[in-house]
């Protein structure tokens, strides 16, 4: 059974920005800095900090001054401050000798900065500040603990001025936008493969991430083949929301939609999942269809 992977763009993002020159260029555009490509940069591995299946963030120390966490998100996630808190705590654990915690004087530690790059289909502000304190059950005037994450929306038509400052960041945003356009109507495995080829061909022809795609094209194709899982997961969420709305409507005497039978969308999702090799029980759980309806596809 294939595992749902909601992080296909995160993976491409991380792979693309493992390049030091691209990363410094992107950081300069995001943070308004002017570090040269030769600035000292050290990557930090965040593997398994939260979940074993996720390794999508970029963490690095730049010129011995900053720890910067960058994450690309295809879905809106306002739990990022809490997530970043867990990350930075883990990083500092590896940065400082345990014995030094008991010394008389404080050790100096790199100043952290937290950024998220959003490039999804949902409407979202061009720039948004997320605060850990907003999640506190009992808000206080000056919280004893605070962590601030700046989210930049680089979806089509957003953050134009910032993207103009970094060719690498612009190309990444454009690549994802092109992939959406080609893949959003691809309903079959064959159609998705063709859409992926068209995405890469278009980008190569127009010089978008060209050097990277020439070198890593086959890996990019593999990552993009996982995109349907992202869309499927979002579709399931939308269906769950719709069903909840219908339930409330029925309780209030405002019946909407059909009372019985599988919707076209449920059948389409089930068909795609079956084509990708998902087990019948899993398809039934996700779509709400009966075993007979799934077997008939």
Cα–Cα distance for residue pair 117/85, rounded to 1 Å: 17
On whether residue 12 sits in a domain, the answer given is yes
Both 132 and 49 in one domain: the answer is: yes
- pTM value is 0.72
Reading the chain (297 residues) residue by residue, the pLDDT tens digits are: 334 344 455 478 888 999 999 999 999 999 999 999 999 999 987 665 554 445 557 899 998 889 898 888 888 889 999 999 988 988 888 888 888 888 888 888 899 999 999 988 888 999 999 999 999 998 888 999 999 999 999 998 899 999 999 999 999 999 999 988 888 888 777 888 898 999 999 999 999 999 999 998 888 888 777 654 555 445 545 555 555 555 555 455 444 444 444 566 677 777 777 776 777 877 787 777 888 888 888
On whether residue 103 sits in a domain, the answer given is yes
Both 155 and 269 in one domain: the answer is: no
Asked whether the beta carbons of 221 and 204 are under 8 A apart, the reply is no
On whether residue 216 sits in a domain, the answer given is no
Asked whether the beta carbons of 209 and 177 are under 8 A apart, the reply is no
Both 139 and 238 in one domain: the answer is: no
Q: Write out the residue range of the structural domain in which residue 271 sits.
A: 228-248+263-295
Token digits of residue 13: 């993002």
Q: Which of 106, 107, 115 is nearest to 152 (CA)?
A: 115
On whether residue 126 sits in a domain, the answer given is yes
Cα–Cα distance for residue pair 138/146, rounded to 1 Å: 14
Both 162 and 232 in one domain: the answer is: no
Both 120 and 16 in one domain: the answer is: yes
Both 158 and 273 in one domain: the answer is: no
Contacts of residue 157, Cβ cutoff 8 Å, sequence gap at least 6: none
Cα–Cα distance for residue pair 210/285, rounded to 1 Å: 41
Asked whether the beta carbons of 145 and 132 are under 8 A apart, the reply is yes
On whether residue 15 sits in a domain, the answer given is yes
Helical segments of the chain, H only:
8-16, 20-31, 80-95, 160-163, 167-183, 189-205, 210-224, 227-251, 264-275, 280-287, 291-295
Both 151 and 236 in one domain: the answer is: no
Q: Which of 146, 166, 186 is the last residue of a domain?
A: 166
Residues of 248-279 as b/e, b for ≥16 C-beta within 10 angstroms? eeeeeeeeeeeeeebbeebbbbbbbbbeeebe
Cα–Cα distance for residue pair 97/224, rounded to 1 Å: 41
Give the total number of structural domains in the chain: 2
Q: Which of 63, 58, 161 is nearest to 114 (CA)?
A: 58
Q: Which of 166, 181, 214 is the last residue of a domain?
A: 166
Instruction: Determine the pLDDT at residue 171.
Output: 96
Both 156 and 270 in one domain: the answer is: no
Three-state SS at 53: coil
On whether residue 183 sits in a domain, the answer given is no
Query: What is the chain's length?
Result: 297
On whether residue 184 sits in a domain, the answer given is no
Q: Which of 140, 166, 192 is the last residue of a domain?
A: 166
On whether residue 258 sits in a domain, the answer given is no
Both 136 and 47 in one domain: the answer is: yes
Orientation angle between helical segments 167-183 and 227-251, nearest 10 degrees: 60
Both 106 and 235 in one domain: the answer is: no
Both 268 and 156 in one domain: the answer is: no
Both 136 and 239 in one domain: the answer is: no
């Amino acid at each position: 059974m294939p595992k749902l992977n909601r992080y296909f763009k995160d993976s491409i993002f991380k792979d693309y920005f493992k390049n030091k020159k691209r990363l410094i260029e992107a950081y300069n555009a995001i943070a308004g800095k002017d570090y040269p490509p030769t600035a000292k940069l050290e990557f930090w591995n965040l593997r398994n900090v939260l979940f074993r299946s996720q390794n999508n963030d970029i963490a690095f120390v730049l010129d011995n001054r900053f720890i910067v966490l960058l994450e690309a998100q295809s879905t809106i996630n306002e739990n990022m401050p809490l997530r970043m808190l867990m990350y930075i705590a883990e990083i500092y654990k590896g940065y400082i000798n345990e014995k030094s915690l008991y010394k008389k004087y404080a050790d100096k530690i790199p100043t952290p900065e937290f950024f998220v790059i959003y490039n999804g289909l949902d409407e979202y502000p061009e720039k948004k500040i997320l605060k850990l304190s907003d999640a506190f059950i009992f808000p206080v005037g000056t919280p004893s603990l605070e962590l601030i994450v700046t989210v930049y929306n680089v979806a089509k038509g957003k953050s134009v001025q910032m993207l103009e400052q970094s060719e690498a960041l612009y190309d990444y945003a454009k690549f994802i936008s092109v992939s959406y356009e080609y893949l959003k109507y691809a309903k079959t495995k064959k159609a998705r493969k063709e859409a992926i080829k068209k995405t890469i061909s278009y980008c190569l022809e127009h010089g978008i991430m060209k050097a990277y795609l020439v070198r890593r094209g086959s890996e990019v194709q593999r990552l993009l083949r996982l995109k349907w899982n992202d869309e499927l997961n979002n579709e399931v969420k939308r269906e769950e929301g719709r069903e909840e709305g219908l339930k409330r409507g029925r309780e209030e005497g405002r019946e909407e939609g059909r009372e019985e039978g599988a919707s076209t969308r449920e059948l389409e999702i089930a068909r795609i999942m079956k084509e990708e090799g998902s087990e019948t029980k899993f398809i039934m759980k996700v779509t709400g269809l009966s075993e007979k309806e799934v077997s008939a596809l």
